[in-house]
């Protein structure tokens, strides 16, 4: 019975989710390896190592659009097989690096192949199934799990087998995933328009004139990425500043740096993992009420939490921080839903590629923004700036998106 319940469509969706997990996982291995192992082995500081990761992240951003264009012409499932094989081989090669330059070249390859997933995988998800909002939410949670698992699993592999294993083991795993994906996806396009209740049809939703929808998508992609990157990168440092008393109490009064760091890391993981589940709520709102309502709820939560956060410490700060992370993670599926329900299937990968090109460029701009604002006005100033970003998205969504129900919901 158990075997019969696992349909080909279910396995197909599971492998697409695994791809999202691996995409984010591979992009963050270097950060852990640089912090925990390479500095000592190569006698370099963390600051000296970081520039060698820049080419990979740059390629991850700039290659999203061309990868989407290639997928629309050559085939999305073929590109997904290339993704699994390419990123796996690239990670194995990176694990063989003998110099910082070779490491950087390997990270560049990881970034190039990593750029395939978002324009291609998300185009498949939104083209194939009904209940797109919930599908995107589940897919997004897998991506978040990749973010959360990269540091944990890489650290374990460094301890057990060295930093090279941190690249090579997941690389081999990705190669193994390519084989079942190739088997399951072969000929699946023939089922695209079959009379199966769970498959999507070509029925674009109308949220108003296309220029207004596109303006909202790119505004949200830019400002939303700044908010997302600022909160996810700064949260451990925010917790270290604001949760000192709580961390000491949870560490049973311990005063060592290791104990405090461990507790802060655990609290940050708690905030991230709890907030990830908010995407399921967003998925329900998207399928039931459409993008306008879902965007209003997610950004409304952000605005309220950012307004409350200045000056808070310990338990109050933890609770409100979980609140704004719920809003931040809850907003993630909205843009993908808008593109998936308004762009035609034939151009959907290109549309996703353009959206992620904008997002990843904004992603890069967020880091210096955090540094300047935090140095000048502290984290309270950062919270107020992020509140203005969230409020702008909230207002823009209300103004530029029409109030509609998604067809077929």
pLDDT at 305: 94
Task: Give backbone dihedrals phi and psi of 201, rounded to 5 degrees, phi first.
Answer: -120, 170
The Cα-based distances of 125 to 76, 100, 131, 133 in angstroms read 11, 37, 10, 10
Q: How far apart are CA 380 and CA 306, in angstroms?
A: 9
The CA distance from 46 to 399, in Å, is 45
Q: CA nearest 60: which of 307, 341, 360?
A: 360
pLDDT at 38: 81
> Which one of 1.20.120.80, 1.10.274.30, 1.20.1250.20, 1.10.3720.10 gives the CATH number of domain 2-186?
1.20.1250.20
Q: Residue 409's pLDDT is what?
A: 42
Give the tens place of pLDDT for each residue, 129-161: 777 778 888 888 888 788 777 777 887 888 888
Per-residue pLDDT at 261: 57
* Res 300: pLDDT: 94
In a structure prediction context, what are the per-residue pLDDT tens digits for the chain, which is 409 residues long? 444 567 877 888 899 999 999 998 898 788 778 777 787 888 887 667 778 887 888 888 888 888 888 888 888 888 999 999 999 999 999 999 999 899 999 999 999 999 999 888 888 887 777 777 788 888 888 887 887 777 778 878 888 888 899 999 999 999 999 999 988 888 665 444 443 334 444 445 556 667 787 788 888 888 888 888 778 767 777 887 788 777 777 766 544 444 555 677 677 778 878 888 888 888 888 888 888 888 999 999 999 999 999 988 888 989 999 999 999 888 888 877 877 677 666 666 777 777 777 777 777 667 677 778 877 888 888 899 999 999 999 998 888 776 655 444 4
State residue 336's pLDDT score: 77
374-398 per-residue burial string, b: 16 or more CB within 10 A, e: under 16: beeeebeebbebbbebbbbbbebbe
pLDDT for the residue numbered 194:
40
CATH architecture, range 210-400 = Up-down Bundle (1.20)
Q: How many residues does the chain have?
A: 409
pLDDT at 193 (0 to 100): 41
Task: Scan for tokens 């396995």, then name that residue.
Answer: 11
Joined tokens for residue 178: 């390519």
pLDDT at 394: 92
Q: Which residues pair with 129 in a beta bridge?
A: 199
256: left (phi over 0), alpha (psi -120 to 50) or beta: beta
**C-alpha–C-alpha distance, residues 365 and 64, integer Å:** 17
Per-residue pLDDT, 259: 54
Domain ranges across the chain: 2-186, 210-400
- Indicate if 210-400 has the same CATH topology as 2-186: yes
Burial state string for 12-24 with b = 16 or more CB within 10 A and e = fewer than 16: bbbbbbbbbbbbb
């Amino acid at each position: 019975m158990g075997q019969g319940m696992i349909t080909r469509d279910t396995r197909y969706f599971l492998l697409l989710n695994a791809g999202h997990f691996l995409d984010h996982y591979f992009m963050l291995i270097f950060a852990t390896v640089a912090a925990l192992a390479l500095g000592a082995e190569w006698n370099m500081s963390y600051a000296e190592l970081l520039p060698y990761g820049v080419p990979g992240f740059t390629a991850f951003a700039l290659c999203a659009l061309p990868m989407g264009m290639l997928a629309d012409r050559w085939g999305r499932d073929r590109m997904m097989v290339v993704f699994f094989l390419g990123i796996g081989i690239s990670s194995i090669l990176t694990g063989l690096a003998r110099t910082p330059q070779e490491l950087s070249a390997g990270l560049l390859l990881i970034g190039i192949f990593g750029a395939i997933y978002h324009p291609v995988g998300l185009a498949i998800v939104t083209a194939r199934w009904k209940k797109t909002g919930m599908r995107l939410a589940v897919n997004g949670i897998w991506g978040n799990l990749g973010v959360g698992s990269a540091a944990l699993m890489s650290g374990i592999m460094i301890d057990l087998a060295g930093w090279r294993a941190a690249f090579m083991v997941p690389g081999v795993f990705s190669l193994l995933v390519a084989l079942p994906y190739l088997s399951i996806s072969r000929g699946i396009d023939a089922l695209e328009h079959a009379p199966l209740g769970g498959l999507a049809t070509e029925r674009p939703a109308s949220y108003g004139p296309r220029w207004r929808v596109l303006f909202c998508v790119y505004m949200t992609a830019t400002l939303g990425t700044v908010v997302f990157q600022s909160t996810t990168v700064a949260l451990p440092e925010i917790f270290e500043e604001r949760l000192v008393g709580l961390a000491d109490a949870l560490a049973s009064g311990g005063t060592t740096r290791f104990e405090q760091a461990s507790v802060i890391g655990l609290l940050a993981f708690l905030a991230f993992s709890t907030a990830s589940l908010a995407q399921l709520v967003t998925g329900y709102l998207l399928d039931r009420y459409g993008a306008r309502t879902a965007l209003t709820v997610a950004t409304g939560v952000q605005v309220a939490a950012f307004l409350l956060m200045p000056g808070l410490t310990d338990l109050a700060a933890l609770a409100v921080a979980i609140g704004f992370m719920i809003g931040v993670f809850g907003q993630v599926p909205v843009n993908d839903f808008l593109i998936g329900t308004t762009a035609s299937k034939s151009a959907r990968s290109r549309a996703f590629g353009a959206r992620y090109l904008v997002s990843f460029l904004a992603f890069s701009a967020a880091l210096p923004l955090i540094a300047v604002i935090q140095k000048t006005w502290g984290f309270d100033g950062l919270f107020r700036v992020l509140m203005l970003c969230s409020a702008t998205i909230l207002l823009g969504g209300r103004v530029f998106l029409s109030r509609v129900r998604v067809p077929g919901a």
